Structure 1
Amino acid sequence: MIGPARRALYLTLAWLSFGLGVLGAFLPLLPSTCFMLVAVWAASKGSPRFANWIRSHPRFGPTVVAWEEAGAIPRHAKWLAMVMLGISITILAFTVSLMWLKVALIIGLVVLAIWILTRPEPVSSSS
């Protein structure tokens, strides 16, 4: 059992992350899934009932459950991530003046893209 201060901290983080995740569903440059994953993790520590509610949510639940069960990322999320990473790499290529920093950032984003693409897709994904 955790103390009330720690529980409040986890709940605050869960609600903040959930709110950002909901905003991410409507704002094109704000990710949704990563915030929902943080929300479920924090809620699991502070309020298992809230965590289960997120998991059963019709919009956010399937992606969260797919990640928890199999580390799976839906195809549409992979495509969106690739587009955003491509845009980020292009912007970095033309705006960062320090060559070592530019190369390091681009390599990091390419490694991230490879990691995302190698994640399995959910079995029940219709995408």
Structure 2
Amino acid sequence: MSLPAKSEEPSALATTPAPALVRRWYTRWLLRALAVTSLGLGILGVFIPGLPTTVFILIAGWAAMRSSPRMHAWLWNHPLFGPMLQNWQAGGFVSRRAKRSAAAMMAVCAVILWLTPTPLWARILACTCMAIVLVWLWLRPEPA
């Protein structure tokens, strides 16, 4: 009996990391709820300035890997969200485009924050948090 010939291109699902499902059913359901909620917030983050997309997609990928192989495979192979997950899995990479987008959105949020009547402590706290996240983000390696 001969083995089937290997194809030149591996299928997309073959490159998807194997899910590490949790054992307890209620933990799977909680993680699945976290994945769906994070995915929803990540999608909203595409349209709402100041709401991060990448962080929520990473959380959704982590939770989906432990709760739903189907959702995880969908996220991993998605044209918009897949590269974020794949870059992170490959070594914590964040694309320059994502870094620039995050910096621009945080700048817009900071300007809006300083133009609205908010307490001074809230402005300083929010801008400090955004600055720390930006420094961390720009120190992340970029994919080749």
Query: CA-atom RMSD, angstroms?
Result: 2.3
State the SS of the aligned residue for 2:80. Answer: coil
Aligned mates of 1:105, 1:20 — CA distance in 2: 19
Aligned length: 122
Q: Which amino acid in 2 is paired with 1:114?
A: V
* Cα offsets for 1:48-102 (capped at 9, x unmatched): 3432332122321111110122211111111111111111222222335533443
State the SS of the aligned residue for 1:70. Answer: coil
2:103–2:134 contact (8 Å) kept in structure 1: yes
Cα distance change, pair 107–20 in 1 and its aligned pair in 2 (3 A): closer
Q: Structure 1 residue 86 and structure 2 residue 107: aligned?
A: yes
- TM-score, normalized by length of structure 2? 0.70
Deviation, structure 1 residue 4: 1.3
Gaps of 5+ in 1: none
Aligned to 1:77: 98
2:93–2:143 contact (8 Å) kept in structure 1: yes
Aligned to 1:65: 86
Aligned to 1:4: 25
> Which one of 37, 49, 54 corresponds to residue 33 of structure 1?
54
1:96–1:102 contact (8 Å) kept in structure 2: no
> Which one of 60, 65, 85 corresponds to residue 44 of structure 1?
65
Aligned mates of 2:40, 2:115 — CA distance in 1: 33
1:78–1:116 contact (8 Å) kept in structure 2: yes
Q: Which amino acid in 1 is paired with 2:94?
A: I
Aligned to 2:119: 98
Gaps of 5+ in 2: 1-21
- TM-score, normalized by length of structure 1? 0.77
Aligned to 1:121: 142
Greater than 6 Å deviation, 4+ residue runs: none
